[in-house]
Amino acid sequence: MIDVKRRLAQGLPCLGAWSTVPSPLVAEAMASCGFHWLAVDLEHSPIDLADAAGIFLAAERHGVAPMARLSSADPYLARRLLDAGARGLIVPVVESADAFAAFARHTLYPSAGGRRGVGLSRANGWGDAFESYTADFRPVLVPQIETRAGVAAAAAIAALPEVDALFLGPYDLSADLGTPGRFDTPDMKAAIERVRTACAAAGTAPGIHQVAPDFAALKARLDDGYRFVAFATDMTAMRAAIGRPLSLIED
């Protein structure tokens, strides 16, 4: 399986996608296209924990690291997703380094100074890999910067040792700045640059969502130095491929 944490630590790009359809079959089709990671979106989709476990299996079949975006910084949901096999977590609307550090402790075992509950689970092979997993596993942790407050705290958040990347949530951030869906305003550009500067100072990977399934736009994101990039979603990719077929018919 691809080691996203190691790639990010080495300064290498990690390209993933959002899984928003509660179907392992769709997730497997996405994973087979070739990604470093596939994140189950528990914030903006009807996916539940049982669906997520099936999607993790589908991703792993193609060597893609399964991840999850939480609906909030819920430490107990985080624990359950990690026990189900998630290799990393993306956490929305992070606005405080102290609050995120407190959350992160729930994802680490006591041997690493954390508070994660210890038990037999799918993640450790129901005990077969108990010792190695509890000793060595560290999840990929990616706070999302989506508000003015998050931007203001970005330097402190990026400097946390548990953090592997900061992920810009462009829609939420633009909405919080008063211009929803506008990514080219002076305030938006200034906020993005502040987050990128925080990442550079801390040696933390900058991340962003390339919403449209457009290869040229994706390459531009990578050329701009983003190293943790979500490329489209399963649904946006399907809709872009299908287009508007009725537009060819003149009634």
Total residues found in the chain within this entry: 251
The residues facing 65 across adjacent strands are 37
The Cα–Cα gap between 132 and 29 comes to: 31
Residue 109 identity (one-letter amino acid):
Y
DSSP assignment, residue 84?
Answer: T
The Cα–Cα gap between 187 and 193 comes to: 10
Catalytic residue at 44? Answer: yes
Q: Which helix (H) or strand (E) holds 197?
A: helix 186-202
> 53 by DSSP, 3-state: which?
helix
DSSP assignment, residue 185?
Answer: S
Tokens representing residue 127 in the block: 């005990």
Question: Is residue 206 within 8 Å of residue 214, measured between CB atoms?
Answer: no
74 φ, ψ (degrees, to nearest 5): -90, 105
Question: Is residue 136 within 8 Å of residue 179, measured between CB atoms?
Answer: no
Enzyme catalytic residues: 44
